[in-house]
Amino acid sequence: MPANSTSRPAPGLPTFREFVRFLLGGAVDGDVHVMGFQKKCDVCNLPYNFIGKVENMNVDDRYVLDAIRIADKTVRGGKYVQELR
């Protein structure tokens, strides 16, 4: 039998339609296994206030590290940034 929204995959399991209605009904809101990607994407939830460019990476990198006050605590290539100044 071809799968469709009304065929039961196995005894005791919901049909696809029943499963979708269950999800849309909010029964598992907050469950990361069925949450939409846009709600759990941490990168999308960050408040960006700086845009850098690859062409200026050394300058942009320095600006960001200084702005968040961790330039002296950062390691690059096995050397502390402070040693590279």
Q: What is the mean pLDDT of residues 56-73?
A: 84
The 10s digit of each residue's pLDDT in 36-60 is 777 777 777 777 788 888 888 888 8
61 and 40 together in one domain: no
Integer Cα distance of 75 and 84 in angstroms: 10
Integer Cα distance of 18 and 8 in angstroms: 10
30 and 69 together in one domain: no
Find tokens 């939830």 and name the residue.
45
42 and 62 together in one domain: no
Domain that holds residue 26: 1-46
Stronger pLDDT, 79 or 71, i.e. the higher one: 71
Three-class SS of residue 19? Answer: helix
Give residue 14's pLDDT band: very low, low, confident or very high (50, 70, 90).
Answer: very high
Q: 0.85 cut: is pTM over it?
A: no
36 and 10 together in one domain: yes
pLDDT at 1: 45
15 and 38 together in one domain: yes
34 and 61 together in one domain: no
